[in-house]
Structure 1
Amino acid sequence: MHVEECHVVIVGAGPSGLAVGACLREQGIPFVLLEKSEAVGATWRRHYDRLHLNTIKQLSALPGQPWPEYSAPYPSRVEMVDYLERYAERFRLEPRLGVEVERAYHDGSRWVTRTHAGELRSQALVVATGYSRHPNVPTWPDQERFRGRILHSSAYRSGAEFRGQRVLVVGAGNSASEIALDLWEHCAETTLSVRSGNHVIPRELFKLPAQFNALALFERLPLAVGDRLATAILSRAVGDLSRWGIRRPAVGPGTRALKEGRMPLIDIGTVALIQQGKIKVVPGPRAFTETGVTFTDGRGLPFDVVVLATGYRPGLDDFLENATRYTDEHGCPRWHGAPTPAPGLFFIGFRNPITGQIRDIAAEAPRIARHIQGVN
Structure 2
Amino acid sequence: MEHIETVVIGAGHSGLAAGFHLARRKLPFTILDAGGQVGDVWRARWDSLRLFTPGRFSGLPGLANPVGRDGYAGKDEFADYLATYARRFDLPVRLGVRVRSVIPRGDEFELDTTAGPMSARHVVAAGGHNALPHVPALARDLDAGIRQLHSSDYRNAGSIPPGAVLVVGAGTSGAEIALELAPTHRVSLAGRPTPHIPDAVFRYAGSAYWLIVHRLLTTGTPPGRKVAASFGLRGAPLIRISLPQLEAAGVTRLPRLTGVADGRPLTDAGEVCTPTAIIWATGFRPDLRWLPPLDVDAVGVPITERGVVRRYPGLFFVGMPFQYALTSGLIGGAARDAEYVAGRIAAGVA
Structure 1 residue 14 and structure 2 residue 9: aligned? Answer: no
SS at match of 2:321: coil
- For structure 2, the residue ranges without an aligned partner over 5 or more in a row are none
Name the amino acid aligned to 2:303. Answer: R
Deviation per CA, 1:265-304: give whole Å up to 9, x if none: 22423412344371101122321556x5332222223211
User: Which residue matches 2:250?
Assistant: 278
User: Which residue matches 2:300?
Assistant: 331
Deviation per CA, 1:132-158: give whole Å up to 9, x if none: 111112132773424131111110011
Q: 1:119 is matched with which residue: 109, 117, 132?
A: 117
Structure 1 residue 265 and structure 2 residue 237: aligned? Answer: yes
Matching of residues 146-185 of structure 1 within 5 Å: 146-162=144-160, 164-184=162-182
SS at match of 1:359: helix
1:58 Cα shift?
Answer: 1.4
Structure 1 residue 89 and structure 2 residue 108: aligned? Answer: no
Cα distance in 1 for partners of 2:200, 2:245 equals 17
1:197 Cα shift?
Answer: 4.1
Structure 1 residue 299 and structure 2 residue 271: aligned? Answer: yes
Structure 1 residue 99 and structure 2 residue 92: aligned? Answer: no
Report if aligned partners of 1:37, 1:99 keep a CA contact under 8 Å in 2: yes
Matching of residues 2-151 of structure 1 within 5 Å: 3-68=1-66, 73-140=71-138, 143-151=141-149
Structure 1 residues 138 and 214: alpha-carbon distance in aligned structure 2, compared to 1, 3 A threshold: same
1:172 Cα shift?
Answer: 2.0
Report if aligned partners of 2:171, 2:193 keep a CA contact under 8 Å in 1: no
- For structure 1, the residue ranges without an aligned partner over 5 or more in a row are 228-251
1:115 Cα shift?
Answer: 1.2
Deviation per CA, 1:322-356: give whole Å up to 9, x if none: 223xx323221222654331222110001266547
Give the RMSD, CA atoms, in angstroms: 2.9
Identical aligned residues as a percent: 31
Structure 1 residue 365 and structure 2 residue 338: aligned? Answer: yes
Q: 2:317 is matched with which residue: 344, 347, 350?
A: 347
Cα distance in 1 for partners of 2:111, 2:45 equals 28
Q: TM-score, normalised by structure 1?
A: 0.81
Cα distance in 1 for partners of 2:162, 2:111 equals 49
1:69 Cα shift?
Answer: 5.6
Name the amino acid aligned to 2:186. Answer: E
- Larger displacement relative to structure 2 (70-79 or 144-153): 70-79
Deviation per CA, 1:186-241: give whole Å up to 9, x if none: 422111011x34222223338526x5453354455578xx99xxxxxxxxxxxxxx
Cα distance in 1 for partners of 2:144, 2:125 equals 39
SS at match of 2:8: strand
SS at match of 2:337: helix
User: Which residue matches 1:203?
Assistant: 199
1:83 Cα shift?
Answer: 0.4
Report if aligned partners of 2:175, 2:246 keep a CA contact under 8 Å in 1: no
